[in-house]
Amino acid sequence: MVAEVCLPEDADRRVLDRLHRAARVSTRHTALPLDRYAGLKNFGEVNDAFIAAAVPLGAEAVEGALDAAGLSPRDVDLLMFTSVTGIAAPSVDARLVGRLGLRPDVRRVPVFGLGCVAGAAGIARLHDYLLGRPDDVAVLLSVELCSLTFQRNDPSPANLVASGLFGDGAAAVVACGARRRATGPAVIDTRSRIYPDTEEVMGWDISASGFRIVLDASVPDLVRKNLPEEVDGFLAGHGLKREDITAWVCHPGGPRVLEAVEEALELPAGALDMTWRSLAAVGNLSSSSVLHVLRDTLAERPPPGGTAGLMLAMGPGFCSELVLLRW
């Protein structure tokens, strides 16, 4: 599918194959059957496909998260929706209110443009909201259908790298205010940081054919330059050091980015195993990915009680988001 959509007929497939092997992604999910992608002729058709797939997939994610939390749709006071792979008005969250049976007075916050950082940033913004409304329930929904953004007949390195790295998926998180009974880790604090003069490093160029990826090779160097000071300063404000973190919930930006994170933070062997496994199993799901890593951390290796975890993600801006967790 990728070769048929992304490469001109006379292109050399060996470059594509080499880039896909380097992505270290073994399997991925796609929103559509593979034979449908070549038939999408323009951005309008692509975006219609996004909406048609995002609504039921988002509904499934929210229903699953509420069920796991022992809550009903009527309990939800705030629904935040994030995606960077399609647009809709009414937004996807609005289309889910009646479908899920949410209250008509539910607060909605559709977010576009944060990209990969939005999973961590979304949890941080839910935390901000719940500080002022400790009796409320807030839900973050991420739906990212990255396969719909692959550009046809575009053999540029950025497009070919993206075509091997990104997958389709969704995730939902239920967060409860301090006066509600809840399980799982507590959010202790958050930090957002945008780095100057980096607007052209990562994001989209919007064209007649849709979202054309911007992905500069300097991203790993930006991680090495900025992340250690950012993490150390954030942790120091809570009397913590890197060695105090028992769970690193890191967005799987790609092999070079993950290697840069490991090197920059001097992480012990295996600290990012969950992230590497997620990358191999489903690819980079943009904002949904770090939420998948959080789920896997909770399910497979819950840290001992009273310990700290750190969620971190980076995205367009160029920016980072840190979320300090406590079990």
pLDDT at position 303: 65
Beta-bridge partner residues of 137: 176
Locate tokens 């995002």: which residue? 54
Report angle CA 157, 34, 47 to the nearest 5 degrees: 75
CA-CA-CA-CA dihedral for 24, 277, 321, 298, to nearest 10 = 170
2-176 shares its CATH topology with 186-326: yes
Q: Exactly one of 116, 146, 176, 319 is catalytic; name it.
A: 116
User: Mean pLDDT over all residues of the chain?
Assistant: 93
Q: Is pLDDT larger for residue 305 or for residue 55? A: 55
pLDDT in tens, 141-159: 999 999 999 988 788 888 8
pLDDT in tens, 172-193: 999 999 998 778 899 999 999 9
pLDDT at position 4: 60
What is the spatial distance between Cα 140 and Cα 184, in angstroms, rounded to a whole number?
A: 15
Q: pTM to 2 decimals?
A: 0.93
pLDDT at position 183: 80
pLDDT at 304 exceeding the cut of 70? no
The rounded percent of the chain whose pLDDT value lies above 90 is 78
Question: In CATH, what class is 186-326?
Answer: alpha beta
Residue 165 CB-density burial (10 A; 0-12 exposed, 13-18 middle, 19+ buried): buried
pLDDT at position 267: 97
Lowest mean pLDDT across 14-28, 66-80, 209-223: 14-28
The CATH number given to 2-176 is: 3.40.47.10
Say what angle helices 43-69 and 92-100 make with each other, to 10 degrees: 50
Q: How far apart are the first and last CA of the chain?
A: 43
Structure confidence at residue 5 as a pLDDT band (50, 70, 90):
low
Q: Is pLDDT larger for residue 300 or for residue 236? A: 236
pLDDT in tens, 76-123: 999 999 999 999 999 999 999 999 999 999 999 999 999 999 999 999
Count how many residues are written for the chain: 327
Beta-bridge partner residues of 314: 320
The answer to whether the beta carbons of residues 248 and 258 sit under 8 Å apart is: no
In the chain, where the domains are located: 2-176, 186-326
Whether residue 116 lies in the annotated active site: yes
